[in-house]
Amino acid sequence: MSEELTPRALDALRRLEELRRADAPTHGGRVLSYVYDSGLAEIDEIAARAARLVQPVNGLDPTVFPSTVAMERDLIAFGRRMLHGESGVVGNVTSGGTESCILAVASARDTAGASPGAGSVVAPTTVHAAFAKAAHLLGLELVRVPVDPGTGAVRVDAFTEALREDTVLAVVSAPNYPIGAIDPVAEVAAATSARGIPLHVDACLGGWALPWWGDTPEPLPEWDFRVPGVGSISADLHKYGYAPKGVSLLLYRDRDRHRAQYFGITDWPGYPVVNPTLAGSKSAAALASAWAITETLGDVGYRGLVDRIRRATESLCATVDSVEGLRVVGQPRGPVFAVASDADSGTPIDPHVWANAVRERGFTLQMQPSMLQPDGTVLARTTHLTVTPVTETLLPDLEAVLRAAAEEVRGAPPAAPPDALAALSEAFADGSVSAADVLALPGEAVAGALAAAGLDPRKGTAGSAGEAGEDLDMATVLAAVEALPRPVTTRMLVEYLAGLLDE
């Protein structure tokens, strides 16, 4: 590097180190959401070296960079074996779960020949939000089917009743993110097959964990390509595959549905464009990292890591269930679970207040709001825990923190929305303000309302990149989400997060 550039490069890297110190820790098991820590330091080094080897590669054209074809083919083959797919199962590596979900929906829409603005996707209320995004972008209606509030799994009869003549795709989860329940894949597949509707299993979360979960204390229900009628599966390598973000695998049983995922054009004066994913030019770094990690771990390595996750999950669930006032929702089967207040307890504990107390003791859990389902039943507010292999090494400390935090907040009232948003909630209740009124406001007015509620992204909670989110109390934010119309809170959160980037 030239003498002129070296000082600037060193300054930039020092600044980046400073910025990273404000981030939540991605290793060590202190954050039980968003990050997936294998606990193996060498995995990070393998990923970094693989990414460096392909740093200048453009994944746009595999005829120019055949290394990308070889790696992608190997990952597809590994996924096919892992998910019990026959030799005809085909697919692609994508940039993450959201892209996999969007492509699965787009392929189903185009295969069905649905015209713009027509068609529906049927999925449980617990299906990942990526499918709502897919429906929005592709002009489809997302039909949400209630799940059993006690188990978190979709009801087969309700799912069957929700299928329509214009349904282009049905979706179930293995497991779902909010609760950790595996939907009844085989039963739903029987219903969708009878109607000629393709079924997608969203295993973005569990796809690289459930295959090695084992039969203790009882066998998992079949959920992958062993089930007749399962037409496609998404499984994220950047979750329990331990690859850097973002990289996912999308597999199809039907070659024609897979080909419908592609975009191609030759009637323009440039080079022929044929894209299997939404991006054109794209980095090969995540692909290479995922490939190198999978080649390194193999079945034996993944099985050992999953054994650690399963033991940790079972121990944590038992700990939570032993705490008076808290309960694990349903019977989660996989590496995530949700904790709710035990209404039958004499001293119920609010899960969001509890999560705040846990955070003060050094562990970050993820709060989730309650939800009114289409049939009038309510999914309780919960706190989500994502368990990784490294969690097992922290069990004594973590379980002690979970118990101590529960004792500290026992009897404490739930968090309330900020005063300004509580007043807005009352205005909605008495009819003096409507959701349409708020949605019609310009961005500056919404930003002003947030500032009045103490949620100004330009002050305190987000004064700079190094301070973003430090003082944001998610318990009060989610209390506002529960109190106000959901489209209104969506608009407010968009304005807040966009405001982090404003000067």
| pLDDT value, residue 219 | 87
For the chain, the domains span 89-262, 419-499
**In this predicted model, what pLDDT tens digit does every residue of 398-428 receive, in sequence order?**
999 999 999 999 999 999 999 889 999 999 9
- Rounded CA-CA distance 24/331 in Å is 29
**In this predicted model, what pLDDT tens digit does every residue of 194-220 receive, in sequence order?**
999 999 999 999 999 999 998 777 889
* 464 pLDDT more than 90: no
**In this predicted model, what pLDDT tens digit does every residue of 351-377 receive, in sequence order?**
999 999 999 999 999 999 999 999 999
**In this predicted model, what pLDDT tens digit does every residue of 67-99 receive, in sequence order?**
999 999 999 999 999 999 988 999 999 999 999
Kindly indicate the confidence band of residue 100, based on its pLDDT and cuts at 50, 70 and 90.
Answer: very high
| pLDDT value, residue 358 | 97
CATH number for the segment(s) 89-262: 3.40.640.10
Q: For residue 401, what are the CA distances in angstroms to 24, 31, 281, 419?
A: 18, 13, 46, 31
- Rounded CA-CA distance 383/349 in Å is 12
- Rounded CA-CA distance 124/61 in Å is 37
| pLDDT value, residue 3 | 72
**In this predicted model, what pLDDT tens digit does every residue of 231-282 receive, in sequence order?**
999 999 999 999 999 999 999 999 999 999 999 999 999 999 999 999 999 9
Q: Are 363 and 30 in contact (CB under 8 A)?
A: yes
- Rounded CA-CA distance 496/445 in Å is 12
What is the model's pTM?
Answer: 0.94
Q: Are 122 and 156 in contact (CB under 8 A)?
A: no
| pLDDT value, residue 283 | 94
Residue appearing with tokens 């190094």? 466
| pLDDT value, residue 454 | 85
DSSP-derived 3-state class of residue 251: strand
Share of the chain above pLDDT 70, in %: 97
Residues with Cβ < 8 Å from 320, sequence gap 6 or more? Answer: 326, 327, 328, 339, 402
**In this predicted model, what pLDDT tens digit does every residue of 294-339 receive, in sequence order?**
999 999 999 999 999 999 999 999 999 999 999 999 999 999 999 9
| pLDDT value, residue 468 | 45
Q: Long-range contacts: 492-498, Cβ < 8 Å, 24+? A: 492/446, 492/449, 492/450, 492/455, 495/443, 495/446, 495/447, 495/450, 496/450, 496/455, 496/457, 497/457, 498/443
Nearest of 444, 348, 470 to residue 22 by alpha carbon? 470
- Residues across the chain: 503
Pairing label, strands 141-145, 120-124:
parallel
3-state helix, strand, coil in the chain (%, to 5): 45, 15, 45
* 467 pLDDT more than 50: no
* 61 pLDDT more than 80: yes
Q: Are 176 and 195 in contact (CB under 8 A)?
A: no
Mean pLDDT of 110-137: 95
| pLDDT value, residue 502 | 86
Mean pLDDT of the chain: 93
